[in-house]
Amino acid sequence: MGALLEEPPPVIERGEGSYVYTASGHRLLDASSGVWNNILGHGRQDVIDAMAGQLRALASTSTIGRRSRVADELAHELLRLAPPRMRRVMLHCTGTAAVEGAVLMVRQYFKLVGQPRRAGIISVEGSYHGCSLLGAAVSGDAADARWLAPLPAGCHHIPRPHGEAAAAASLAALERLVRKERPGRLAAFIFEPVMGTAGVIVPPRSWITGAIAICRQHGIKVIADEVVTALGRVGEWFASAGQAPDLIALGKGLGAGYAPVAATLACEELFEPFARRGGVAFKYGSTMDGYAAGCAAARAVLLAIEREGLVARAASLGEGLLSRLRELERYEVVGRVRGRGLMMGVPLVEPGDPDRPLRAEWTARIVGRLFEAGVVLMRANATLTLLPPLTISEAELDQLVQLLEGVLSHPGEPPAGRARGRLRGLLGRDG
């Protein structure tokens, strides 16, 4: 916070397509789509018109005990596009609420079906699932947890599946947890199909299927946190579609940065006990859930993704981008580039030591130089995260690679002490 006060982040004043502009007129390629959410880029008239029309008709009516036409329509659209197992929709305003809705629905489900001891949640070390207290407990970032303690109990973490050997160790830890330590006490397993905040880690597919098989065997429900990955980001409508999860959390791209809108999708089995005669309400909901203008924005976003073929586009552009970014590995500060679709991580490493993340001051200086060169992006520790709008043009992608190359090929000398350069902490997380 001190660094931010000393050197406040730039004021972004307007956006157009894949670019944003600072108050002083500096044009920046928005390589992380805002906070990974502006999937259609900036200034989309179709989304703006849909919202404006809805605001005039009815700005909001909560989905707590009420309905609106636009919320119903959005829910139906989501179910049309989602894996067939998904049958129910809850609408929210943030990804945090979508995850929390999923977790709490599972917990209440088990109480309703007479297994009240099943409340534990398993997730992956270093994952990110939201900024609430439950989100922090589930996320398992030890550095964050230290400041927020005491966190809700009952959250367990297995090692992250970064590479084949780590994935095998992660599955072994899951086996141990479900068999020996907590049999009958575990309610849900939550995972990100591609781990974003951890630095764009792509788990081996065998890890995901293995983890889900273990959970199914032990009656543990599976939540796919697709707040980042869904709606085309990784080249599929839903990255977890092949895994048949019990619940899916959505956010970010659903409102595409135009409106706060998020959703939890659930299978019928989880919903059924709530609906029984004399059943109880689901103990979760917030005033602006089902925000009508947000639902109108999300409908326009889904329409645009479909009409413009953005899911397939992300898959094919992503393949080309990955191989071009891999060419940057010849520079001494670039580690093994990874990603899927238009979700890429470029890890920065210490020269001569590819297993050691580049020190924070140097990483911040590189991010600052990229900013000056005309690219704004988020980083996760020492990994540059590239999640451009799905609408980005090929020429803009060329420009992005060139600008990255210009800076990464000449990373400068190691900084002597704490970085005092421009934009030291720009949109970054240092764990």
Tell me how far apart the 2 most distant CA atoms of the chain are, in Å. 70
263: Cβ contacts below 8 Å, ≥ 6 apart: 74, 75, 78, 89, 90, 91, 92, 98, 249, 250, 251, 254
The Cα 109–Cα 101 span in angstroms is 12
The Cα 304–Cα 59 span in angstroms is 22
123 sits near ligand PLP (criterion: CB under 6 A) = no
Torsion of CA 69, 254, 148, 386, to 10 degrees: -170
The token pair at 345 is 């991580």
196 sits near ligand PLP (criterion: CB under 6 A) = yes
Closest distance to ligand PLP from the beta carbon of 46 (Å):
23
How is residue 144 annotated by DSSP? H
Closest distance to ligand PLP from the beta carbon of 131 (Å):
6
CA-nearest of 279, 263, 275, 384 to 335 is: 384
99 sits near ligand PLP (criterion: CB under 6 A) = yes
Region near ligand PLP per CB under 6 A, out of 5-13, 93-101, 301-309, 312-320: 93-101
Q: Which residue has the tokens 């707590």?
A: 64
Number of residues that bind ligand PLP (CB under 6 A): 15
The pair phi, psi for residue 407, each rounded to 5°, is -85, -45
- Interacting residues with ligand PLP between 61 and 90 (CB under 6 A): none
Q: Which is nearer to ligand PLP, 171 or 378 (CB)?
A: 378
Closest distance to ligand PLP from the beta carbon of 426 (Å):
17
Vertex 21: Cα angle to 312 and 235 (nearest 5): 10
Closest distance to ligand PLP from the beta carbon of 71 (Å):
19
Q: How many CB atoms within 10 Å of residue 155? A: 21
197 sits near ligand PLP (criterion: CB under 6 A) = yes
Q: Which is nearer to ligand PLP, 19 or 128 (CB)?
A: 128
Closest distance to ligand PLP from the beta carbon of 422 (Å):
25
Binding ligand PLP (rule: CB under 6 A), the pick from 19, 110, 128, 284 is 128
- Interacting residues with ligand PLP between 201 and 260 (CB under 6 A): 225, 227-228, 251
130 sits near ligand PLP (criterion: CB under 6 A) = yes
Region near ligand PLP per CB under 6 A, out of 154-162, 192-200, 236-244, 315-323: 192-200
Closest distance to ligand PLP from the beta carbon of 32 (Å):
11
192 sits near ligand PLP (criterion: CB under 6 A) = yes
Q: Is 407 exposed, middle or buried (0-12, 13-18, 19+ CB in 10 A)?
A: buried
Catalog residues that contact ligand PLP under the rule CB under 6 A: 94-96, 99, 128-131, 192, 196-197, 225, 227-228, 251
